[in-house]
Each structure stands twice: as C-alpha cells, then as structure tokens.
C-alpha cells in the first residue's frame, strides 16, 4: 500500500516557465555571441575543436516543427543520487510525447555503463507515472563509470545506431557533464548525428555559474538536513548535556554546510574554503573549536552544535598536499598498491614514498583515519570523503585539547559529545516543490535544445528566485565552464567546480553572525519540507540562492 503523501505527489503537476506554457510548436531558439572557456582557453580549444566557442542559447516565441519527424532519445542518470532526477526524466518524456506520441525515450540502466553495455528500458506512461515527483534514482539506477575512452565512445555510437537515436541526455554533476562534453565532441568530430545534452545535478551545489544558478537536489537535501539539524539543536537545548558534531555531505565545496548554517544558526560551522584561504592547519581548527566550547562553558552552556563539511579534510593545506601525494602514488603504483592485502602493508608502502612534510601530516592521524585515506578512489580519482570520519576525528582532537586547557586552568566545563553524518538521508527524499518544478523544467528544456540541434550543452533554467512562471530557459555550452586540472596524475579538461565564494553574500552573512551564534544560543528550527500551503512556505528557494540573487 502506498503512503498518502506518495499518492498525493504522483498527482502534483510541476510548474513550467512561461515560455513553455504556449505549446510545443511555439518556441524557437535564439543564439548569442560565441563563448570561451573560464580558463586555459588555448588548451581547451585544442581539445574541443568541433564544439569549442559555441554560443549561449535562449528561447523565444516563434514557430517550429519539432514533432514532424519522430525521434528516439536516450537518457542516463550519472553519479550520486539527488532529489528530482526522476522529474528530469518525466519532463523530457512529456515534451517528447507531446511533440509526437511516437517519439521514444530509452532509459539506460546503472549510469554510463548502461549506455556502453546497451542495458535499457523503453519508457511508457504507465511506468513513468509511478516515479513522478518522487526522490531516488531507482527508475533506471545510476553509476559512476567514467566515459572517456575511444572504445567506450565507439560502443555508445553503435548503441545509438542500433536504437536509431537522435540524442542522449546525461543527468549528472561536474564530472559526468565533463563526460557529456567529451562525448559530444567525439560525436561532432566523427559526424555521428546524435546530440548530447547535460542536466546539472548534484546535492553538493558546486556545479553553478552565472547561467546555472544551482544544481538540482541542493534545495531538497539542504532542507532535509536543516530539519534534522534543527531537531538536534532543540534536543541539545532541551537536555543541555551534549556537543553534537554533525558532518554534512558535499564532497568538495561547503555549500551544503553553509546553507544549513544559514537555516539553523548553529554554534560552529567550518567552511572548508575559508580554512584553505587562511591556510589553517588542523591544530588551528581544533583550537578554534575548543575556544568556542570553553567560552560557552563559562556561561554554563556545556552543549552546542557544530557543522563540519565532508570535504574539510582535503582543504587543510598540509592534508591537501598529503592527499594529492597519496592520489599520485596510488595512481602511479596502482598494481603494486592494490596487491597489498593488509592495512599495515599498505601503510608501510605509502610511508616510504611520501615527502617528509606529508609523512608528518599522515602520522598525526589515528590508524582509523589513515585507513580511510588509503581506501579506493572513485572512478574519477577522488578520495571518497564520505567514508572519512572527520566528525569523530575532530571530537577526539578537541577532547584532547580541552583536557590540556583544563590542566592549564583555562577550561572548567564538561565535554560530552555525539557524532552524526547527514548525507544519504537527504539524497533520495521527495523533491521539494522547487526541485520538482526545476527538474521537470530542465528535462522539458533539454528536449528543445536537442530539437534545435544543439550538442555539448547544459540545460539551463534561470531566474529561480522568482515564481516558476518567470523562469528563463536556455542552454550553456559545457566547454564554457571548463579549465585544465590534474586528475589521476594527468592534466585534463574538466568543468571548474564552484566552491564557496568568500566574497559572496551567503558567506558574508554567515561571517557577520557567527560570533553571536557561537556564544549565545540562537538556534532556528526550519521544520519539515512542506508541499501544500502558502508559496512562501512551500516554494521558497534556499537562503544561499536568495542571497546570491537578491537585487
């Protein structure tokens, strides 16, 4: 038996931008000036000779014949789950079927590998209807396989030929959309008549720029975490006996932690980008936290809430160098390293190859964290930070520091802690109205980009702080967001990650309030996501988005 909310959400009709309300044949693309990549223009241009420099695209009223010839389109979900993925597929499906009921949408299962292995389903209305406005990626599953070799591209080409496909939509984050750009370039260079369009997904919120205001999933995930943090704050303020250290997902950027801090006003929130910019060492971070704990203890408050971004460890300068050396060793000595069975053997092998400074940084960590730092990298060469227990590490080190402070007469409180990690709890939640509408619009828009013959573009829907009817739809060339970075020991073209801007309004707001939030108890309680009721409660965007785009 399905829950009443599930039934209710199936029936929700996502809101589209005004341009799409006129009818499928009443829209035409309008192109702007040629574009350039955000950096390393010459190198990126050389690697993308067929797709570099394409113009940005907007849509205007006009007449098209998009339904005249039937088309087949493939879609994949790539990378970590993010609320709203199902609605991207629903929006794409509905636009295809409205244009021509014989159009087909083919879902490739398990992420990019489904595309190379031709593991697919053809969507029907009955099937799609079970997934409308629901969380999760279970409609076709997802995966992190990297599409990068000629052999893979040839396989995809043959799969496209077999299904007589005209386009592929890749729903993914920065790494997956980098793959989309590389595939689009390969197809364009080899005259394969299949367009490739990306859709900006990731709860991490780090795939954004002036045209992509936010990646989908960030809105819902931060609202879910903020509800939980608010509940913990109320518990902490009721019992007054624990310090709660809460690690929040976000592999690199601290957008999630910052947004949750803006929503819940905790005593401490570490922002990794600030740690990097101030070149703070691990011991300075520990000192800073311990000072807040001690100051609150002076007021009789032996409790509090600290938010820790998941990616913190990689932003501490000495640990960043250490991780980059580890990544390099693991990539260069892959066969030897993977042949070592025990943690002790791996540790000994690595310690011999680290530079003296990194060896010193490595030795600071307890064995548990060392083992986590040596775990397998993801297919893109990244450390899997969600598996590193930074919150526990900080609790241990802050506890040691407070003991020292007590011995010196500088601390007289009691430090009892609880640790939490919020990540997977928010990635498959029912999408908020914002994400349900945004994702549906992104998928709908992808159809128009494809029919307009655009390839190597990211579906873009902007003006998101306004009601959905005022949203602006278009497309951004993916090469425009690229620069060169070292990945797996090689210089590669990749989409530049949008980290927290320390000059931006969300961080400025936080920085101007954090001292007050640290000493006093200023907790706020956002409560659960609401789906029905006044728009200011149900359709409200994140505080980050509102501050970034406030006029």
Query: What is the per-residue binding string for ligand FBP in 328-357, x denoting contact by CB under 6 A?
Result: ------------------------------
Give residues with Cβ within 8 angstroms of 115, minimum separation 6: 74, 76, 108, 147, 155, 156, 159, 168
Q: Identify the residue whose tokens are 């939640």.
A: 429
Among residues 25, 386, 463, 546, which is the contact residue for ligand FBP, using CB under 6 A?
A: 386
When the beta carbons of 109 and 427 are compared against ligand FBP, the nearer one is 427
Q: Does 80 sit near ligand FBP (CB under 6 A)?
A: yes
Say what the alpha-carbon torsion angle 248, 311, 214, 143 is, to the nearest 10 degrees: -90
What are the phi and psi torsion angles at 194 (to 5°)?
A: -130, 125
**Residue 513, exposed/middle/buried by CB under 10 A (0-12, 13-18, 19+)?**
middle
- Could you tell me which stretch among 249-257, 321-329, 401-409, 463-471 binds ligand FBP (CB under 6 A)? 249-257
Q: Does 196 sit near ligand FBP (CB under 6 A)?
A: no
Q: How far apart are CA 196 and CA 12, in angstroms?
A: 29
Q: Does 203 sit near ligand FBP (CB under 6 A)?
A: yes
The DSSP output letter for 169 is: E
When the beta carbons of 115 and 203 are compared against ligand FBP, the nearer one is 203
Give residues with Cβ within 8 angstroms of 127, minimum separation 6: 121
- Could you tell me which stretch among 48-56, 122-130, 247-255, 403-411 binds ligand FBP (CB under 6 A)? 247-255
- 118 catalytic? Reply is no
| Strand pairing category for 120-122 and 268-269 | unpaired
Q: How far is CA 68 from the centre of its chain?
A: 37
Nearest alpha-carbon partner for 199 in 137, 120, 119: 137
Rg (CA), the chain: 24
Subset of residues 119 to 178 that bind ligand FBP, contact rule: CB under 6 A = 173
- Could you tell me which stretch among 246-254, 280-288, 508-516, 530-538 binds ligand FBP (CB under 6 A)? 246-254
Q: How far is the CB of 206 from ligand FBP (least distance, A)?
A: 8
- Could you tell me which stretch among 38-46, 78-86, 181-189, 335-343 binds ligand FBP (CB under 6 A)? 78-86
Task: Transcribe 229-255 into DSSP letters.
Answer: HHHHHHHHHHH---EEEEEE--SS--H
Q: How far is the CB of 105 from ligand FBP (least distance, A)?
A: 22
**Annotated catalytic residue within 94, 175, 204, 211:** 204
Q: How far apart are CA 92 and CA 14, in angstroms?
A: 13
When the beta carbons of 170 and 292 are compared against ligand FBP, the nearer one is 170
Q: How far is the CB of 95 from ligand FBP (least distance, A)?
A: 24
Q: How far is the CB of 146 from ligand FBP (least distance, A)?
A: 12
Among residues 14, 67, 74, 79, which is the contact residue for ligand FBP, using CB under 6 A?
A: 79
Q: How far apart are CA 275 and CA 253, in angstroms?
A: 12
Contact 409, 196 (CB under 8 A): no
Q: Does 250 sit near ligand FBP (CB under 6 A)?
A: yes
When the beta carbons of 122 and 375 are compared against ligand FBP, the nearer one is 375
Q: Does 497 sit near ligand FBP (CB under 6 A)?
A: no
Query: What is the per-residue binding string for ligand FBP in 408-427, x denoting contact by CB under 6 A?
Result: -------------------x
Q: How far apart are CA 282 and CA 229, in angstroms?
A: 25
Contacts to ligand FBP by CB under 6 A: 79-80, 82, 173, 202-204, 249-251, 310, 385-386, 427
Instruction: Provide the annotated active-site residues.
Output: 204
């Amino acid at each position: 038996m399905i829950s009443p909310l599930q039934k209710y959400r199936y029936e929700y009709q996502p809101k589209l931008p005004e341009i799409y309300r006129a009818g499928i044949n009443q829209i035409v693309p309008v192109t702007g000036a040629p574009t350039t990549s955000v950096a390393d223009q010459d190198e990126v241009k050389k690697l993308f000779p067929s797709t570099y420099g394409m113009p940005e695209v907007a849509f205007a009223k006009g007449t098209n014949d998009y339904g005249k010839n039937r088309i087949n389109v493939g879609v994949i979900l790539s990378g970590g789950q993010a609320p709203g993925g199902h609605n991207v597929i629903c929006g794409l499906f509905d636009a295809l079927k409205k244009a021509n009921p014989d159009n087909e949408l083919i879902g490739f299962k398990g992420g990019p590998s489904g595309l190379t292995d031709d593991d697919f389903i053809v969507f029907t209305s009955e099937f799609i209807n079970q997934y409308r406005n629901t969380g999760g990626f279970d409609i076709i599953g997802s995966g992190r396989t990297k599409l990068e070799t000629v052999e893979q591209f040839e396989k995809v080409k043959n799969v496209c030929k077999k299904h007589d496909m005209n386009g592929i939509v890749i729903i993914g984050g920065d790494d997956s959309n980098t793959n989309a750009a590389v595939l689009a370039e390969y197809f364009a260079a080899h005259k394969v008549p299949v367009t490739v369009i990306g859709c900006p997904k990731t709860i991490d919120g780090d795939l954004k720029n002036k045209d992509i205001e936010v990646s989908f999933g960030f809105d819902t995930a931060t609202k879910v975490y903020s509800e939980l943090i608010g509940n913990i704050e109320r518990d902490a303020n009721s019992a007054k006996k624990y310090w709660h250290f809460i690690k929040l997902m976000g592999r690199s950027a601290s957008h999630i932690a910052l947004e949750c801090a803006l929503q819940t006003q905790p005593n401490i929130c570490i922002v990794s980008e600030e740690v990097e910019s101030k070149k703070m060492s691990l011991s300075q971070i520990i000192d800073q936290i311990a000072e807040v704990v001690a100051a609150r203890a002076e007021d009789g408050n032996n409790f509090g809430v600290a938010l820790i971004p998941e990616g913190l460890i990689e932003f501490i300068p000495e640990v960043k160098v250490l991780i980059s050396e580890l990544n390099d060793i693991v990539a260069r000595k892959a066969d030897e390293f993977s042949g070592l069975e025990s943690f002790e053997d791996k540790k000994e092998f690595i310690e011999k190859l680290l530079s003296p400074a990194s060896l010193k940084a490595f030795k600071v960590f307890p064995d548990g964290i060392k083992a986590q730092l040596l775990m397998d990298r993801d297919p893109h060469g990244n450390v899997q930070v969600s598996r590193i227990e930074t919150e526990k590490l900080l609790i241990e080190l802050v506890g040691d520091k407070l003991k020292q402070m007590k011995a010196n007469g500088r601390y007289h409180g009691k430090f009892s802690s609880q640790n939490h990690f919020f990540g997977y709890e928010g990635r498959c939640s029912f999408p908020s109205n914002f994400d349900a509408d945004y994702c549906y619009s992104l998928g709908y828009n992808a159809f128009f980009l494809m029919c307009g013959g655009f390839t190597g573009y990211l579906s873009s829907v902007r003006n998101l702080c306004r009601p959905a009817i005022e949203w602006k739809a278009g497309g951004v060339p993916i090469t425009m967001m690229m620069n060169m970075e070292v990945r797996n020991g090689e210089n590669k073209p990749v989409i530049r990650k949008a980290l927290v801007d320390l000059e931006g309004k969300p961080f400025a707001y936080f920085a101007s309030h954090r001292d007050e939030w640290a000493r006093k108890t200023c907790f706020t309680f956002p409560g659960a996501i609401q789906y029905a009721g006044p728009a200011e409660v149900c359709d409200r965007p994140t505080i980050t988005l509102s501050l970034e785009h406030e006029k």
